[in-house]
Amino acid sequence: MRLKNNSRQRKKPIQGLRSFKDSLPKNVREFFFKKANIYSKIIENWKKIVGNDLFTACYPKSLKNYKNSGIKRLYINVKRGKEIEVEYSRKIIISRINNFIGYNLVNSIKLVTFKDKKK
């Protein structure tokens, strides 16, 4: 059996720093960069998704996928005192994100409060 010379993963050690993309296995690399691409689209278009009022009150923190239970949860940082506004518009945010991406990406939203240092 012959070895492939043009594979993206390096078999031989090289001197210096290796790129992050080359150090990951192929199946993990595809999943990781796909998820990072979707999360970056949500961050870039957050103002369009939630509107001006909620844009100043919250921003996305992370996107988690729980495979065993089928839950895809978006964690949102919310300024203290603005939790009620975001809580009431939770279903609207989920539907707007799913419409923006084109398929059901988010099933639930978890709110994480933080204290705003600027007053």
User: Is the pLDDT assigned to residue 31 strictly greater than 80?
Assistant: no
Please give the helix or strand (H or E) that residue 3 lies within, else none. none
Is-above-0.85 flag for pTM?
no
Q: Which structural domains are found in the chain, ordered by start?
A: 23-114 (3.30.300.180)
Residue 57 one-letter amino acid: A
Cα dihedral value 21, 41, 99, 73, nearest 10? 70
- Alpha helices by DSSP H, listed for the chain, are 20-23, 26-44, 46-50, 52-57, 83-88, 90-101
Beta-bridge partners for 108:
73
pLDDT of residue 93: 92
User: Is the pLDDT assigned to residue 11 strictly greater than 90?
Assistant: no
Q: How confident is the model over 33-59, as pLDDT tens digits?
A: 666 678 888 888 889 999 898 898 898
User: Is the pLDDT assigned to residue 84 strictly greater than 80?
Assistant: yes
Q: Which residues contact 43 (CB under 8 A, 6 or more apart)?
A: 59, 60
pLDDT of residue 76: 92
Residue 69 one-letter amino acid: S
pLDDT of residue 77: 92
**Residue 101: pLDDT band by 50, 70, 90 thresholds?**
confident
Residues 106/97, Cβ–Cβ less than 8 Å: yes
